Amino acid sequence: MARLTTVFTCSACGHEEPKWHGRCAGCGEWNTLAEEKRAPAPARRGGGGGGRSAEPGEAVRPVRLAEVQAIQVARLQTGIGELDRVLGGGLVPGSLVLLGGSPGIGKSTLTSMALGNLAGAGRRTLYVSGEESAAQIKLRAERLPGAALDVPVLAETDLDTVLATLDAERPEVCVIDSVQTLHAGDLTGAAGSVGQVREVADRITRLAKARDIAVLLVGHVTKEGSLAGPRVLEHLVDCVLQFEGERERTYRTLRALKNRFGSTSEAGVFEMRQGGLVEVQDASARFVGEATRAPGSVVLAAMEGSRPLLVEVQALVSPSELVPPRRVANGIDRNRLALVLAVLGRHAGVGVGSADVFVNVAGGVRVDEPGADLAVALAVASATRGIVAGAGARPIACFGEIGLTGELRTVAHPERRLAEAAKFGLAPIVTPAGAGRGAAEAATLRDALRAGLGAAPAARAA
C-alpha cells in the first residue's frame, strides 16, 4: 500500500503546513490546523492528443476543442421538479452534489424522496446513512410517497466499507447522509474533523467519477449558516445546494450556490407536510393571500432565480429605552437593514433612532437581493407612521434598491416583477423609474414613500 504523508490543513483558509502550529500562517487564525493523511498523487494520466498515457515529463500534443469528442449526458430526473430545476435539469451521472442545511430542515427527507422516485423509475439507488439506523430510515420512508421503501439502505460510518459497497453494488445514484459522519480508518481525528471530511469527500469523488455514480452528499451547516468542514469541500464537488428556512416554519427554499452544470440563480420552494416535502408552485398566491392589511406590512416583488415571487415584508417599530436600540432582521441581511434605516432617517424624514426595529419576511423566506430595500423602507415607514400602505383593499407591492443619497435604483427583471404583482391585483406597485407601464415610478425614496403611503400628516411622522 502507498505510504501516507501527514499534512496539517487550516479549516479556515485551506493553508497547508508540514508541521502543526498553533496559528495558521495563511490567515492568522488560532487553533485551526488539523492533521490530515495524504496518499501520494496518483500517476498522471495522459490527457494529450494521442489519447495514450504519457510518461511523466514527456510532452503531450494538446487538442483543439473542436476535435474533442463531446459526450452526451443524459441527466437523471429525481422526479422532484423544484430539485431538478435547481440542479439545472436533473442529476449528472458521475457528479457530486453537496446538499447543506441546518438540522431538521429536511435534507434526509428530500434525498430519500429523490432516491424513491429514481428507484421507482427503475434506477439503481443506494442510501448510505451514518446518522440513522436502517429502522429509523424506514420510519421516514413510510410517510413518503413513491417507491421510497424500495431504496436499498446501508447504515454505516466506515468509509472503506461504504466505498467497497458502492463498488460492488454500482448504484447509478447514491446518497451519503452525511459526509461528516463517515470515518476513514487510516486517518487520525474524529469523524467530521477537517482532515476526515476532506479525505471522505476526496475518496468518494474519485470512486464516483470512475464508476459514473451520481452522489448526493449531505452536509451539516455551522451556526453561522456556512457549510461545516473545509472550504475545499465546496471546490471539490460539482454542485453546492443550500436548503434553508426556519425549522418551525413550513416553507423551505432550495438554492444552488455553485453549479458546474447549470445556473446558480434558480431556487425552489418547498413545504414540509405529513407526506414529506411538497413543491410549492404557487408560492406568490400563498404569500399574498396571507399578507395582512395593517401598518408595517407591504408585499415585495422579489426574484427567486428566474421566477418572480411575491413575499410579505413586515416591520414593527417600538419605542425603546435601549442604547443602542435593537435591530432585528429575519429573512433579510442585517447590514442592509442598517443602511435602509440610515437612508430613511437622513433623506426621507423617517427617524427611528430611539426605537427598536424588527423586520421579518413572512413565511420564513430569505430574500438576499438589493431589490428588497424599498419594501423594508416602506414597511418601516408604514409602521413608524402607523398608517396602512396603499388605499385599496389589496396590499401594495414594491421593489427597488435604495442608494446612499436617497435615490431609487433599478434592479433586474422589473417587467417580470411588475407582471407578477399585477396578476394578483396589487396596487400601487411602487418601483424605481423606468420599470414600465402600470408602475408607480419614483426617483427617490421620498417620492416612493409618498406613492406608497400618501403624504403623512406631519404630526404622525417620527
Ligand X SMILES: Nc1ncnc2c1ncn2[C@@H]1O[C@H](COP(=O)(O)OP(=O)(O)OP(=O)(O)O)[C@@H](O)[C@H]1O
Assigned C-alpha cell, 434: 423606468
Closest separation in Å from C-beta 178 to ligand X:
7
For the CB of residue 124, give the shortest distance to Mg ion in the complex, in Å: 22
423 binds ligand X (CB under 6 A): no
> Could you tell which of Mg ion, ligand X, none binds residue 334, using a CB distance below 5 to 8 A set by kind?
none
- For residue 460, the SS3 value is helix
Q: Which stretch binds Mg ion (CB under 5 A): 22-30, 102-110, 348-356, 413-421?
A: 102-110
116/122 Cα distance (integer angstroms): 10
111 touches Mg ion by CB under 5 A: no
Q: Between residues 69 and 274, which has the closer beta carbon with respect to ligand X?
A: 274
Cα 250 from Cα 283, distance rounded (Å): 12
Does residue 116 touch ligand X according to CB under 6 A? no
Q: Which does 274 bind (CB under 5 to 8 A by kind): ligand X, Mg ion, none?
A: ligand X
| Range list of H helices, 331-432 | 334-347, 373-385, 414-423
Nearest CA to 154 out of 115, 199, 107 is that of 115
* Nearest CB to Mg ion, comparing residues 108 and 242: 108
Residue 260 interacts with ligand X (CB under 6 A): yes or no: no
- 104 counts as binding ligand X under rule CB under 6 A: yes
Burial string for 376-413 (b: 16+ CB within 10 Å, else e) reads bbbbbbbbbbebbbbeeebbbbbbbbbbeebbbeebeb
Count of residues interacting with Mg ion (CB under 5 A): 1
Q: Find the part of the chain contacting Mg ion (CB under 5 A) among 100-108, 199-207, 380-388, 414-422.
A: 100-108
Q: Whole-number minimum distance, CB 107 to Mg ion, in Å?
A: 5
**Residue 137: which H helix or E strand, with range?**
helix 134-142
3-state secondary structure of 8: strand
Give 219-266 as a DSSP string: EEB-TTSSBSS-THHHHHSSEEEEEES-TTSSEEEEEEEEETTS-S--
C-alpha–C-alpha distance, residues 3 and 55, integer Å: 22
Q: At its nearest, how many Å lie between ligand X and the CB of residue 126? A: 17
| Residue carrying C-alpha cell 432617517 | 345
Query: What is the closest distance, in whole angstroms, from the C-beta atom of residue 275 to ligand X in the complex?
Result: 8
Per partner kind, with CB cut-offs from 5 to 8 A, the member of Mg ion, ligand X, none near residue 143 is ligand X
**209: phi then psi, degrees, rounded to nearest 5:** -70, -40
Residues in contact with ligand X, total (CB under 6 A)?
A: 14
Residue 107 or 307: the one with the smaller Cβ distance to ligand X is 107
Q: In angstroms, what is the minimal distance from the CB of 101 to ligand X?
A: 5
Positive or negative, the CA dihedral 355, 410, 307, 309 is positive
Separation between Cα atoms, residue 82 and residue 105, nearest integer Å: 16
With CB under 5 to 8 Å by kind, the binding choice for 105 among Mg ion, ligand X, none is ligand X
Minimum distance of Mg ion from residue 287's CB (angstroms): 27
Q: Of 42-101, which residues contact ligand X (CB under 6 A)? A: 101
Q: What's the burial of 450, exposed, middle or buried (CB within 10 Å: 0-12/13-18/19+)?
A: middle
Specify the stretch interacting with Mg ion by CB under 5 A; choose among 104-112, 151-159, 183-191, 345-353.
104-112
Select from 197, 202, 190, 242 the least CA-distant residue to 11. Answer: 197
Residue-wise DSSP of 17-42: ESS--SB-TTT--BS-EEEEEEPPPP
Q: Nearer Cβ to ligand X, position 251 or 424?
A: 251
CB-nearer residue toward Mg ion: 77 or 181: 181
What mask of x and - would describe binding to ligand X in positions 122 to 161, judged by CB under 6 A? ---------x-----------x------------------
- Residue closest to Mg ion when measured from CB atoms: 108
Q: Judged by CB under 6 A, does residue 105 bind ligand X? A: yes
**Residue number, 56 or 103, with CB nearest to ligand X:** 103
CA angle in degrees (0–180, nearest 5) for 327-330-334 = 50
- Enumerate residues 267-306 that contact ligand X by CB under 6 A: 272-274
Beta strand extents in 267-403 (DSSP E only): 267-273, 276-279, 297-304, 307-319, 327-330, 355-361, 397-398, 401-402
Taking the complex as a whole, the smallest distance from the CB of residue 106 to ligand X amounts, in Å, to 4
Q: Does 108 bind Mg ion (CB under 5 A)?
A: yes
The partner in contact with residue 106, picked from ligand X, Mg ion, none with C-beta cut-offs of 5 to 8 angstroms by kind, is ligand X
Q: Report the candidate in 165, 181, 169 with the shortest Cα–Cα distance to residue 132.
A: 181
Cell numbers for 213: 455514480
Minimum Å distance from CB 123 to Mg ion? 22
Residues engaged in binding Mg ion (CB under 5 A): 108
Residues engaged in binding ligand X (CB under 6 A): 101, 103-109, 131, 143, 247, 272-274
